[in-house]
Chains A and B, each alone.
Chain A
Amino acid sequence: MPPLSVTFEFTRGSAPASRIEEVAREILDELNDPDSEASGMAQRAGLNRTELLDAQTAVTEGEHGADPFLTPIIVGIIANVGSTAAEALWEKVLWPRIRRRLGADAIGEQKVPAKDG
């Protein structure tokens, strides 16, 4: 089964896409350590940590408009898990930690989620 790709689109917040991606990668790296905070959060979210070890994220900025704050931020998660687990990985593991590190306004409101893959 090919890895599933799930994307979430948000309005831009205070953090640039590159910074969000950097923090998201650090958190995913933590999953290699079963005693890490990220692993604990994954477990509490009902996720199988070992299934997430190959998970990757890509955070990009969408089309630039006249107003840079209208530029969407697109978060992509590629993982060998179902879409529900990928969504839980974002909502219960990645976003709470990104929020804590970069701020509650790091990203803006979520737009209608899109899925493929």
Chain B
Amino acid sequence: MRPMSPYVGLEPAMWRNLLALATIFHATRTKLCEFCIHIDENRVVQKVMLDLELHAQVCAAQNLDDDETVNRVISGWKGQLDNVLGLQLETDIADFLTELRTLMCRDRVSDPFRKIFDGVAKLASAVYGENWRLPTLEVAHLGRHPRESSNDAYAVTAATPWPPDEASAEVELRIYCDRFRPAAFAAVPMLLTHECVCHVPARQDRAANDSAFAEGLLDWTAYVYYENWVVKLDRELAPAARQHADLLRRVLTQADGPEGRARRLGHLAAEYLQAWFEDSCEQPPAEAKKTVARLAVQLNIVDRPLSHKDHFVSLVSWPMRPVVANALSKWEYDEVSAEVLLDTATGLPLP
């Protein structure tokens, strides 16, 4: 029987190529931060990375099954590392490559993407409780970098195609295979966290990339949860996953266009809300941050148009408008629901 891809968006050879790379990045995850730095700065490590990419492509094209493909990529790359280690190298580079060589065979998982996704989905489902939709993971490839003009290290993106089912949703991880390197792998947990916190359980109409609520306030919230989840997800990947989530955040919030603007506006609204809860409800900063995240999650499952939620975000400023402050105060003291808060603060007619 011909080897298959578990994902409809990937040809079998493309899947095996990604699987081999992801397996090695997963195995060497405690060293991914250093790997990224060396790829940027050191020619020997750049060559080692290119060798891995080339070797993975060649093995993936051979129509072997998943395990055999990964075995051959690992053994071939190990041989290439041995050759490189036989050269005169700077001590720190030699030590680093020796560590990679030692680590690369351990912790094999059948699908590193699914492992990350299952962990994120489990944690997100606990936040949303009965409002959670059961998500499935798809992986697809891209023909070019998702932000071609910036050419950053994060050649990955994710989406939750609309419309989700009442009880389920599909999250699609999209990878530009030619640039799938350690930094991109380390950013995958945050990308999937964004999808699971912001879009999987959302009860509004189709999320728009220019929505300050869906892509901004909720994205800020996803980072709040991520900060608490990252070690639970994988303590060995945590330092790289945290570092690259922060770097990705910078890339995405600084991006030109409506999506970058939505993120900036939504993040700013979140900061205003946090400051308001600190000031008016006398909450310590960490608690106020959690309060904003709780509010965003509750608003996400309120059955109101996205335009109402975006309008709410646009009303949040400093000083807080009295009608918004009053609604926030009542919500915080459990006098009204998030739904009532939204309707009162925005004053918009019900759909």
Contact = CB atoms under 8 A, between A and B. Distances in A.
A103 B11 contact: no
A100 B142 contact: no
Nearest to B9: A100
Nearest to A102: B143
Contacts of A40: none
B269 to A, nearest CB: 27
A96 B8 contact: yes
A100 to B, nearest CB: 6
Interface residues of B, number: 12
Contacts of B174: 104-105
Nearest to A19: B143
A100 B143 contact: no
A103 B140 contact: yes
B11 A104 contact: no
Contact of B141 (A13, A96, A104): A104
Given A104-B172, A104-B174, A14 B142 contact: yes
B10 interface: yes
A38 B59 CA distance: 27
Question: Chain A interface residue count: which class?
Answer: 10 to 19
Interface string B165-189: 0000000101000000000000000
B143 A15 contact: yes
Nearest to A96: B8
A96 B141 CA distance: 12
Contact of B144 (A96, A101, A105): A105
Nearest to A105: B142
Nearest to A69: B148
A111 interface: no
A111 to B, nearest CB: 17
Contact of B8 (A14, A100, A102, A103): A100
B172 A100 contact: no
A50 B174 CA distance: 35
Contacts of B172: 104
A100 B144 contact: no
Given A104-B172, A104-B174, A99 B9 contact: yes
A100 B144 CA distance: 14
A13 B11 CA distance: 19
Interface in A4-23: 13-15
Contact of B10 (A13, A100, A106): A100
B4 to A, nearest CB: 11
Contacts of B8: 96, 100
Give me the 7 closest cross-chain CB pairs, A-B, nearest first.
A14-B143, A103-B143, A104-B140, A14-B144, A103-B142, A105-B142, A104-B174
25 contacts: A13-B143, A14-B142, A14-B143, A15-B143, A96-B8, A99-B9, A99-B140, A100-B9, A100-B10, A100-B11, A100-B140, A103-B140, A103-B141, A103-B142, A103-B143, A103-B144, A104-B141, A104-B142, A104-B172, A104-B174, A105-B142, A105-B143, A105-B144, A105-B146, A106-B143
Interface of A: 13-15, 96, 99-106
